[in-house]
Amino acid sequence: MMTTESERRKFHRIQFEAPVSLSQGGEKWVCEIIDISLKGILVSSEGLAFDKDRPVNISVDLSPAAQIEMVAQCSHSNQDHCGFSWIEVDVDSLRHLRRLLELNAGDEKLLQRELGQLILQ
């Protein structure tokens, strides 16, 4: 029996359309979010020209007073999109991300289970 990517995925992703800023070594790019989870983000790759072997700073402005800021590593890419896995996140950003997922996922128990998995990793 074949396992699909969504069945293997431990963290529920939500579609969330918003601009996202990526920066690395003095360079900065703005692209669009495709989806986001407690463990990573998928963005459109149009115009991105970064070193995939080095971490990238990622910033999502949710409002003038709320941002999600994390350091991530490229986990996969193709000509349409790039997937990143978080490697560093501050408490405030994680709180904003959790709230964003709560508002969009519609399943509090699923989110609590995923937070438990994140802590155990």
In a domain, 79, yes or no: yes
Which residue range forms the structural domain that includes residue 47? 13-120
d(CA 62, CA 13): 17
114 has a pLDDT exceeding 70:
no
* pTM for this entry: 0.76
Q: State the pLDDT confidence band at 110, using cuts at 50, 70 and 90.
A: very low
What would the two tokens of residue 31 be?
């692209």
In the chain, how many domains are there?
A: 1
Domain assignment of residue 113, yes or no:
yes
For residue 18, being part of any structural domain is answered with yes
CA 96 to chain CA centroid, nearest Å: 12
Q: The tokens of 115 are what?
A: 């937070």
Nearest to 59 by CA among 22, 87, 13: 22
- Give residue for tokens 């690395």: 24
**pLDDT tens digits for range 38-92:** 889 999 988 788 999 999 999 998 888 888 999 999 999 988 999 999 999 999 9
Q: What are phi and psi of 100, to 5 degrees?
A: -60, -45
pLDDT of residue 107: 55
